[in-house]
Chains A and B, each alone.
Chain A
Amino acid sequence: MVVNGNRHQSAVFSSFANQFGGKIFTSYSSISDYFQLKDINEQLSIENVFLREQLHLARIEKNSAYFQSFVSIDTTKLIQGDSAKPLFDYISAKVVSNSTNRQRNYIMLNKGRKHGIRKNMGIIGPSGIVGVVFRTSEDYSSGISLLNIKQSISAKLKHNNELGTIIWDGISPLYGELDAVENYVPIAIGDTIVTSGFSHIFPGGEYIGTVEEIREIPGKTSLYIKVKFNTNFKKLFWVSIARNLNYEQQMALKAIKLEN
């Protein structure tokens, strides 16, 4: 309680805990890694196939007549201008400790300030988002997992861009909840849910999960939507950390308040 209530103590304690805990967990996971090689390989190959499919689709799109017509008159350059440079880059990191059985689950990664990690970067697993970095030390960083009752992430339905918030009710590590979707929104079981891209933490369109169950709540205008997470939180080995390259600019803009 002392630690969570005071800024200085919190920073000192968490940095110490991060660094010290990280070291112990790294040496532990360097042993346990060998037993998980099979799962790691399987995940990587599935992710490879997925990425290859996307690459293929992107190529088709680029060569299509529709896209070419834009290129020929150079409209894309006009519209995009300077912002054609990428908004995010990714840093690969290894999960050194992770839990799924608590109410507030955290995940520890083996990259820290030294590698350019800072607070509020998104953590993305091989099949969907995992969490958000909230504390860093020199060599390690801790993230709040999606499986944390205090976590909420801006999300949208892929097919109609309807916005909502992904939260977790603390019961099963397989399912979450999509909050704040009004009941007039057309939605069906099996619809894909992706990140909205409005949060400056995750790029838009990263997979979160699929709709599992829809229920109307009596007396409320929003729906109860149960979401099956794409990520298997019990088997997390390697993740990438999404680094927003315009973070400072966006934060500075946000900090400006309207006078009067």
Chain B
Amino acid sequence: MLITNIIRFFIVLILQLLVFNNIQFSGYVNIYFYVLFILLLPFETPRWLMLISAFLLGLTVDIFSHSYGMHAAASVFISYLRPYVVYFIRSKKELDVGVLPTIGHMGFSWFLSYASILIFIHHFIYFFLEVFRLNDFLTTFYRVIYSSIATIIVIIAEQFLFFKQRK
């Protein structure tokens, strides 16, 4: 489990930096695929490990995109919020040991609401830190919405491509 997550850390990083950072639609649609790593961490990951790994991930993305600290801030914030979101949208099913927050294990509708909440918060923080002003609030807000939708679509597509049904 640990190894899988370490490998995933590097895979999302490489995909983000070399593929998704180069996809440049209009400026309204920026895909931040690396959030997937934080979304897919196992439920029983200790809090401190989650925060630290999210920080390292965000900081590495920052280094390569000249956005010192913005990705790190947004990532740490959603990894902090994650347990509360999981509690908030908990399904009737008990969370057994070994259950992962993926479509295969938790079902599509659970994953969709879980991913949308966290991705929206992440993008909201990131885009507002990036402009760092409340002028043109709506423009920035549209940017948040469109980018969130794009990221959610890509992440859900990834989930279906590498679908693993729970045994």
Nearest chain A CB to B156 CB, angstrom units:
22
User: Is A70 engaged at the interface, CB distance under 8 Å to the other chain?
Assistant: no
Closest to B64 in A: A21
Does A149 contact B131, Cβ atoms closer than 8 Å? yes
Q: Which residues from A are CB-within-8-Å of B30?
A: 101-102
Q: Shortest Cβ distance from A259 into chain B, in angstroms?
A: 38
Question: Is A198 positioned at the interface, with any CB of B under 8 Å from its CB?
Answer: no
Interchain CB contact under 8 A, B18 and A173: no
B24/A171 in contact, CB under 8 A: no
CB pair B131–A3 under 8 Å, yes or no, is no
Contact yes or no, B24 A99, CB < 8 A: yes
Q: Is the CB of B130 within 8 A of A104?
A: yes
As a 0/1 sequence over residues 47 to 91 of chain A, the CB contacts with chain B under 8 angstroms (1 = contact) are 000000000000000000000000000000000000000000000
Chain B interface residue count, Cβ-Cβ cutoff 8 angstroms: 22
B18 touches A28 (CB 8 A): yes
Question: Using an 8 Å CB-CB cutoff, how does the interface string of B141-155 with A read, 1 for contact, 0 for none?
Answer: 000000000000000
A-B interface pairs (CB < 8 A), number:
57
Contact B64 A24 (CB under 8 A): yes
Inter-chain CA distance A82–B69, complex, in Å, is: 49
Instruction: Give chain B residues whose Cβ lies under 8 Å from the Cβ of A20.
Output: 63
Cα–Cα, bound, A171→B131 (Å): 12
Is B53 among interface residues, defined by CB-CB distance under 8 A? Answer: no
**What's the Cα separation between A97 and B65 when bound, in Å?**
9
B residues 71-109 near A (Cβ < 8 Å) are 73
Known: A21-B64, A171-B139. A101 touches B27 (CB 8 A): yes
Is B63 in contact with A2, judged by CB distance below 8 angstroms?
A: no
Q: Would you give the 0/1 interface string for B23-52, flagging 1 where the beta carbon is closer than 8 Å to chain A?
A: 011110110000000000000000000000
Chain A residues lying within 8 Å of B73, measured Cβ to Cβ, are: 1
Task: Say whether B167 faces chain A, with CB atoms less than 8 Å apart.
Answer: no
* The one of A4, A101, A170 that contacts B68, using a Cβ cutoff of 8 Å: A4
Instruction: List B contacts of A104 (CB < 8 A).
Output: 66-67, 130
**Range for the number of chain A residues in contact with chain B:** 20 to 34
A152 to chain B, nearest CB (A): 15
Q: With A1-B69, A2-B69, A103-B131 in contact, is A171–B27 under 8 Å at CB? A: yes
The docked-state distance in angstroms from the alpha carbon of A106 to that of B68 is: 12
Could you tell me if B139 and A170 are in contact, using CB atoms closer than 8 angstroms?
Answer: yes
Interface centre among A101, A171, A234 (most CB of B within 10 A): A101
| A42 nearest CB across to chain B (Å) | 20
Contact status B27-A3, CB under 8 Å: no
Q: Give the Cβ gap from B124 to chain A, nearest Cβ, in Å.
A: 14
Q: Mark B127-147, 1 if CB is under 8 A from A, else 0.
A: 100110000100100000000
Contact A101 B25 (CB under 8 A): yes
Contact check, B27 vs A172: say whether CB atoms are below 8 A apart.
yes
Contacts of B136 in A (CB 8 A): 169-170
Indicate whether A142 reaches chain B with its CB closer than 8 angstroms: yes
Contact B26 A234 (CB under 8 A): no
Q: Is the C-beta of A188 less than 8 angstroms from some C-beta in chain B?
A: no
Cβ of B21 under 8 Å from chain A: yes
The 3 lowest CB-CB distance pairs between A and B, nearest first, are: A106-B66, A101-B24, A17-B63
> Can you give 12 contacting A-B residue pairs, CB < 8 Å?
A1-B69, A1-B73, A4-B69, A14-B68, A17-B64, A101-B24, A102-B65, A102-B130, A106-B66, A170-B27, A170-B136, A171-B27
